[in-house]
Amino acid sequence: MPEAFVHAHASHCESGVMSSLLRHHGLPMSEAMAFGLASALSFAYLPFIRINGLPLVSFRMPPRAIVKGLERSLGLSMRFETFRSPSDGMARLDALLDAGKLVGLQASVFWLPYFPPDLRFHFNAHNLLVYGRERDEYLISDPVGETTVRCAREDLKKARFAKGVLAPKGLLYFMTKPPLTPDWARLGRRALARTARIMLAPLPLIGVRGMRLLARQIERLPLADGGERARLYIGNIVRMQEEIGTGGGGFRFLYASFLQELAAKTGYSALDALAARLVEIGDRWREFALAAARMIRGRDALAPPVLAAHLRALSADEKLFFQNLHRAQRAWAL
Amino acid sequence: MREREVPQEGNRSLAGHRKAVYAVADDGKLRLVPSRGWEVEEIVTRQAVEDLERRAEEARARVLAGQSSPLEYHMYRARMDLELLSQSTGLWRWRVRRHLRPAVFARLPLALRRRYAEALGVSVEALGKAE
């Protein structure tokens, strides 16, 4: 098996893993296509989940949504296994690799030595592929890396059995039934409908309403401590948007790429105009990030209301955008 | 974002790696472009790292002043907090908090020291010192 495996660089770990896995099993699939078909784009502000004291802000669906979403829509079967004992988990991985399987793993970024030190936070829901083993070294295709890497057994074991929020519990997964040849138009249309529904959901924490709520929270940030906490708070949002593998603009460019590809595959050209519009919105997200970073570094005065106004404008833009996406999807004659 | 506008600013936080972003090429199509980093990303990453480093340094000062045990320093150095250390060791939070007291830590049995050392990725000897 490993002789045929081809590594591909991706912006996001889960969509990267799934596109590589599908390609390996005979279905050409770009990262953007995997991301879009799984309806992975989102926005969520979850104040009750705190990481180092800061609320969770996410620009995508929760971990495993892409694997599960593609499993459902492409008619493939994935097997998921978790382990109580680390040595069982490693033994099972070895057995699967010996049987020629390409295995996906969930792991903590902190314990993976091949990651740059500054990026090694305790984030437990990272995904990677293992395509082989040479004695005590595993051959790893980590989608966010440009090339394949190696990882020692003890390090990989620690990363797979890290504890805390979203603890991987040694999760591994592999394909047991290959994908069917998809009906791109039907699947694409359904995926668009799902994403529009999530982004326009009548829930305060999710989608365009979540952005508005976050804007209000930013406005209310206390500045009495000289702005220390406020800076960490907005820095955290920008990290979730740009630094942790989103392809830029909080996955908006990646999703635009999906829309273009879907248009090309199905001939439904209305999606091209939507893609162009989403690129503009992605650029506005980048401007928000830039404005925030300048305030964090003190190049501009810290002014939470300015950032809140940015976010409200983005919320309004995205509301219109996803309404148009919904309409385009409805008007799509299959 | 156009392909030629993709930042290539050589972020220290990427340590020579390139990350994938999506940008519009001259033909109007989006494609994956490797980036050496954007200063904005570096600012927010360094901010988060420096916040953790500051906590570790403050803990070290407390250890040297005899107000806290080296465990607190190692906890922050491993980018953890009380919650995560408690989850990683399987010990109750109140027990971990108690072990942050120098007098309690000094009497800690070897089995518990090993458990902490394992969870924090340091040796048992290193765990006893804040350095």
Domain extents for chain B? 3-37, 47-127
How far does B92 lie from chain A, in Å, by closest CA? 13
Q: DSSP characters for B20-74?
A: EEEEE-TTS-EEEEEE-B-HHHHHHHHHHHHHHHHHHHHHHHHHHTTSS-HHHHH
Is the confidence at residue A1, as pLDDT, over 50? no
* Arithmetic mean of pLDDT, A124-142: 96
Q: d(Cα B51, Cα B53) in Å, to the nearest integer?
A: 5
Contact yes or no for A32 and B121 at CB 8 A: no
Which of A313, A132, A8, A293 minimizes the C-alpha distance to B32?
A8
* Arithmetic mean of pLDDT, B71-88: 94
Q: Which residues in B82-91 are b (16+ Cβ under 10 Å) and which e?
A: ebbbbbbbeb
Is the confidence at residue B39, as pLDDT, over 70? yes
* Arithmetic mean of pLDDT, B45-58: 95
Q: Between A11, A282, A283, which is nearest B32 by CB?
A: A11
Is the confidence at residue A210, as pLDDT, over 60? yes
Q: What are the Cα distances from residue A73, in Å, to A13, A31, A66, A183, A189?
A: 20, 16, 10, 10, 12
Residues in A touching B79 (Cβ below 8 Å): 110, 120-122
* Arithmetic mean of pLDDT, B24-35: 96
Residue count of chain A, please give it: 334
Question: What's the pLDDT at A3?
Answer: 53
Contact yes or no for B1 and A286 at CB 8 A: yes
Can you give the C-alpha Rg of chain B in angstroms?
A: 21
Q: Between B40, B83, B90, which is nearest A242 by CB?
A: B40
For residue B123, name the pLDDT band (cuts at 50, 70, 90). Answer: very high
Is the confidence at residue A27, as pLDDT, over 80? yes
Domain A2-177 in this protein, CATH class? alpha beta
For residue A243, name the pLDDT band (cuts at 50, 70, 90). Answer: confident
* Arithmetic mean of pLDDT, A220-239: 93
Topology classification of domain B47-127:
434 Repressor (Amino-terminal Domain) (1.10.260)
Residues in B touching A238 (Cβ below 8 Å): 40-41, 44
Is the confidence at residue A2, as pLDDT, over 60? no
**ipTM, interface predicted TM-score of the complex:** 0.94
Q: Between B21, B38, B84, which is nearest A253 by CB?
A: B21
Domain ranges of chain A: 2-177, 184-330
Nearest chain A residue to B48 by CA distance is A232
What is the CB neighbour count within 10 angstroms for residue A168? 24
Give the pair of three-digit tokens for residue A29.
């699939």
Q: Across all residues in chain A, what is the average pLDDT? A: 95
Residue count of chain B, please give it: 131
**Lowest-confidence pick of A44-58, A141-155, A277-291, B85-99:** A44-58
Contact yes or no for A253 and B23 at CB 8 A: yes
| pTM confidence score | 0.94
Contact yes or no for A119 and B29 at CB 8 A: no
